[in-house]
């Protein structure tokens, strides 16, 4: 079986790791590679360890152990991540249910949502959100006053006649989008897949896929890749792959050169099978 990038994987091959390990790492590794009845002890041990130690023990363990305890380690990791306030769908679960938003898996960060009841928020998968503000509605500017009388109706009996003080517009953020510190996403914004939004940027309108947008007002300064590469990435949509396939491609997804990733995709039977295609003949 050929690995990603056409290399032949060696049985038992493990990442290069430091030779010296702490007693905690050794204990976790021992339980990982031990019998299944060691799972309660493993769960209790890793609950109180630094995530970096658990990761080292995980990487040092044999593949069979990794597979046997993968659900436990994933649950541990998810719990730790939630403590740091990261997975957006978990953090905003009540609002998602209440307002009908859609936030994709693996997206992390805690955005501030303003006027949450006014519009629909859609965020794709694998997005990295620092602490942006996302606004789903604005005060109307087409009336003599911009004051929100209808919103503060309890002080104003005159609002019984009806009226408008806000205008709602949905916000759509694509997949694999990185939004920097204190960016502001205005009502009606459409941010394409793969975009990078700089810190403090104020975004309005439509931002094409794989654009780098910075400034106030936000302007597209460049595109991350050549047009043909962007087209390829939008067709492949790696963020929709099964987790195991994404994990197998991680060395290429975080590699400095795009071309090995493209070449591996075009030769990989599992990836091509998702699109009903066969690998190119070698």
Active site residues: 139
Tokens of 1: 């079986």
Q: In sequence order, what are the beta bridge partners of 123?
A: 103, 173
β-bridge pairing 166-168 and 196-197: unpaired
Instruction: Give the C-alpha separation, 218 to 18, whole Å.
Output: 44
Q: Enter the DSSP assignment of 39.
A: H
CB within 8 Å of 247: residues ≥ 6 apart: none
Question: Could you give the count of Cα atoms lying within 13 Å of 111 in the half-sphere of its Cβ?
Answer: 32
- Look-up: residue for tokens 């003949």? 281
Phi first, then psi, for residue 202 (nearest 5°) are -105, 115
Instruction: Give the C-alpha separation, 212 to 195, whole Å.
Output: 6
Instruction: Give the C-alpha separation, 185 to 189, whole Å.
Output: 7
Angle at 244 between CA 230 and CA 239, to 5 degrees: 25
- Look-up: residue for tokens 């606004």? 135
Asked whether the beta carbons of 172 and 154 are under 8 A apart, the reply is: no
Helix (H) or strand (E) holding 166: strand 166-168
Crossing angle for the helix pair 51-60 and 70-83, nearest 10 degrees? 160
């Amino acid at each position: 079986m050929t690995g990603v990038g056409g290399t032949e994987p060696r049985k038992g091959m493990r990442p290069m790791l430091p030779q010296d390990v702490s007693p905690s790492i050794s204990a976790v590794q021992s339980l990982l590679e031990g019998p299944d009845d060691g799972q309660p002890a493993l769960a209790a041990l890793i609950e109180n360890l630094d995530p970096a130690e658990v990761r080292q023990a995980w990487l040092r363990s044999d593949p069979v152990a990794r597979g046997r305890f993968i659900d436990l380690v994933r649950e541990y990791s998810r719990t730790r991540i939630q403590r740091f306030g990261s997975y957006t769908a978990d953090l905003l679960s009540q609002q998602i249910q209440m307002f009908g938003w859609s936030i994709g898996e693996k997206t992390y960060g805690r955005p501030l949502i303003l006027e949450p009841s006014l519009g629909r928020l859609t965020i794709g998968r694998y997005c990295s959100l620092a602490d942006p503000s996302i606004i789903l509605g604005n005060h109307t500017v087409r009336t003599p006053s911009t004051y929100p009388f209808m919103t503060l109706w309890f002080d104003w009996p005159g609002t019984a006649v009806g009226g408008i003080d806000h205008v709602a517009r949905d916000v759509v953020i694509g997949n694999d989008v990185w939004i920097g510190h204190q960016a502001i996403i205005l009502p009606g914004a459409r941010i394409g897949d793969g975009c990078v939004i700089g810190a403090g940027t104020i975004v309005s309108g439509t931002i094409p896929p794989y654009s780098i947008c910075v400034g106030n007002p936000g302007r597209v300064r460049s595109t991350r890749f050549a047009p043909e590469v962007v087209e390829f990435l939008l067709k492949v949509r790696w963020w929709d792959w099964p987790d195991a396939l994404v994990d197998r491609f991680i060395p290429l997804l975080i590699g400095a050169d795009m071309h090995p990733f493209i070449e591996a995709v075009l030769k990989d039977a599992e990836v091509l099978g998702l699109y009903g295609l066969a690998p190119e003949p070698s």
